[in-house]
Structure 1
Amino acid sequence: MIAVKDRLRAEPKSRWRFPVTLEGMLYLLPSIVLFAVFLFYPMFKTIYLSLFLTDAQGNAQIFVGLEHYSQLLSSPSFRASLKATVLFVLYTVPAGVILALGLALLANQKLKGIGFFRTLFSSTMGMSVAASSVIWLFIYNPAIGIANTIMTTLGLQEMQWLLNPDTALISVAIPTIWMNTGFSFLILLGGLHNIDASLYESGKIAGVSDFYSLRKITLPLLSPTLLFIVTVSLINSFQTFGQIDILTKGGPMESTNVIVYSIFKDAFVNFNIGSASAQAVLLFAFILIVTILQFKWSEKKVHYQ
């Protein structure tokens, strides 16, 4: 047996082996091609176009450097769009995460018929943005909408929900929270199911309250899931478009003209592709900075099991 092993070692390796690095790159090639075509090329093309004046077809004509950026930063309209975007994020993200967390905690209880409520709470995931926005368009209708019917029933004055600059942004934020709650609820419920039940049993034996268990067990162990939900919710809120287009079209008086809708108008209504590209680059940079700061801040707040 030993002689056979020695003979095998002595035989030269005549078979050519494929380089490991090249083999790995071949496995990654489909993903690399998809990222290159649908992510990297559009991103670099957007940066390129932001430095040029373009024609109506989006072809670069005259190099202007950073002129689009300087015009945007000094533009009252862009600053109003930035303000509307930040306010929209502040309206939707904290309220949406807290609502989804409350529903997940409720649905995590071992109660009879709780499966029905789990289905109900996650049902908004099955509706498109367009369909949901049309439903809320009817709800806010000044003549036949249920929102004003509730207001008059409570003895309050009817409101022009989508036509008043003071209430339009909040009126769009409410449907957004409703639409995004289903996804956040399911992810948080999955995170709650991954927490070891023995920890709660030990807490009950020690005589701690439910609130203490929530603060010291549930939230620390759920923090990675919460970080994911907050990050995704932030990015989605910054990129909101569909409900704005259907409900208000950026009005009234540009009170709901968030940056993504401003990009759409500049690109496909005014055919100012250069300015729209510059806004897209600024939005990307803003989201990137906010995400990095969030991860830096949460380094000491997130606990992994």
Structure 2
Amino acid sequence: MEKELGVRVKRTSLKKIRRKEMLLAYVLLAPSVLLFCIFLFYPLLKSVYLSLFLTDPQGQVAEFVGLDNFKQTLSSDMFYKSFANTLLFIVLTVPTGIAAALLLAALTHNKLKGMKMFRFIFSLPMAVSVGTGSMIWMILYHPTLGVLNYFLQLIGSEPIQWLTDPKWAMLSIAIMTVWLNLGFNYILMLGGMQGVPDDIYDSSKIDGSGPLRTFFKITLPLISPTLFFTLVVSIIGSFQAFGQINILTKGGPMNSTNVLVYNIYQDAFINFRFGIGSAQALILFAIILLLTFVQFKFVEKKVHYQ
């Protein structure tokens, strides 16, 4: 009997401890959940609500239109133009950004003298905001005072209208974005490479594996989770690009840099068509969600988890 009573007392005490731990966990999570509700879930539900209505310039509901905003968006040539611009922007920035970060990480992950300084330099763009980076590159792209055109003139080439020529505007935005995201991507790649055990590299050297073969046959498969994470985050970030486009080109010239998010901004906050803007935002959300699901469904199969 005494043993049974002791077991019951222990069980009740364990239950009390678990309840206290659960209560403490809920208390600690409450601020985060509250912030998510205010800045994520409420705007999402508000966008769903506004997408079903026409609104006045103050954003007040004027008339229920159902799915007409979605139909108008999907029949708009500007929407498909901005979607094509977004895809082009992703193609120009995501592979280039990952490849550049991977190359720099491969060159600096060795424990050699001076490598810490290079790691610090390559990580610096992470500390630069979109606004600051855009202003820096606006000066570099200046048609007469910019450093880039100055070097072009030194080699006898004609100056380029980086931000005002439709042929160069998107490429100019892409170059700036690759530089801006380089610090974050570099830190991820470097962390992934440093997580590979040294014993594996030592074994490959004993087997006579060269640097290139070791990199492609050993390093890349072992950091594939990091590559996959960087790919997913980079694509989502490219879909949401706005700041650099708003500062440098404002969607121009001739809508050549008018991506989806900037098109949403124009419809909602310049033309005051909040219903259309909300419908486009929900369509963009669905596109990102679907693309992310496809990546986890098919691309993740090639990821090698240790």
Instruction: Place the TM-score, normalised by the shorter chain, in its bin.
Output: over 0.9
* CA displacement at 1:28 relative to structure 2: 4.0
Overall identity of the aligned pairs, in %: 48
Query: Which stretches in structure 2 are left out of the alignment for 5+ residues?
Result: none
SS in 2 for 1:250: coil
Structure 1 length as normaliser, TM-score?
A: 0.93
Partner residue in 2 for 1:72: 73
Q: Distance in 2 between matches of 1:177 and 1:148?
A: 20
- Aligned pair in 2 of structure 1 residues 116, 54: CA closer, same or farther (>3 Å)? same
- Aligned pair in 2 of structure 1 residues 203, 253: CA closer, same or farther (>3 Å)? same
* CA displacement at 1:33 relative to structure 2: 2.5
Structure 2 counterpart of 1:5, from 3, 6, 11: 3
* CA displacement at 1:155 relative to structure 2: 1.8
Instruction: State whether structure 2 residue 191 is matched by structure 1 residue 190.
Output: yes
Q: Distance in 2 between matches of 1:125 and 1:194?
A: 21
Letter in 2 for 1:73: L
Deviations 1:201-228, CA, capped at 9 Å, x for gaps: 0000001121111112101110001111
SS in 2 for 1:167: helix
Partner residue in 1 for 2:120: 119
* Divergent runs of 4+, >3 A: 3-11, 13-31
Partner residue in 1 for 2:221: 220
- Aligned pair in 2 of structure 1 residues 206, 4: CA closer, same or farther (>3 Å)? same
Instruction: State whether structure 2 residue 53 is matched by structure 1 residue 52.
Output: yes
Q: Distance in 1 between matches of 2:130 and 2:60?
A: 32
Query: Which stretches in structure 1 are left out of the alignment for 5+ residues?
Result: none
* CA displacement at 1:299 relative to structure 2: 2.7
Partner residue in 1 for 2:99: 98
* CA displacement at 1:55 relative to structure 2: 1.4
- Aligned pair in 2 of structure 1 residues 281, 5: CA closer, same or farther (>3 Å)? same
CA-based RMSD: 2.2
SS in 1 for 2:302: coil
Letter in 1 for 2:276: S
Letter in 2 for 1:182: G
Partner residue in 1 for 2:210: 209
Partner residue in 2 for 1:153: 154
- Aligned pair in 2 of structure 1 residues 22, 91: CA closer, same or farther (>3 Å)? same
Q: How many residues align?
A: 303
Q: Distance in 2 between matches of 1:304 and 1:192?
A: 14
Partner residue in 2 for 1:162: 163
SS in 1 for 2:3: helix
Partner residue in 2 for 1:110: 111
- Aligned pair in 2 of structure 1 residues 98, 9: CA closer, same or farther (>3 Å)? closer
Deviations 1:147-187, CA, capped at 9 Å, x for gaps: 11121122221111111111100111100000000011011
Letter in 1 for 2:108: A
- Aligned pair in 2 of structure 1 residues 54, 215: CA closer, same or farther (>3 Å)? same
Partner residue in 2 for 1:281: 282
- Higher helix fraction: Structure 1 or Structure 2? 2
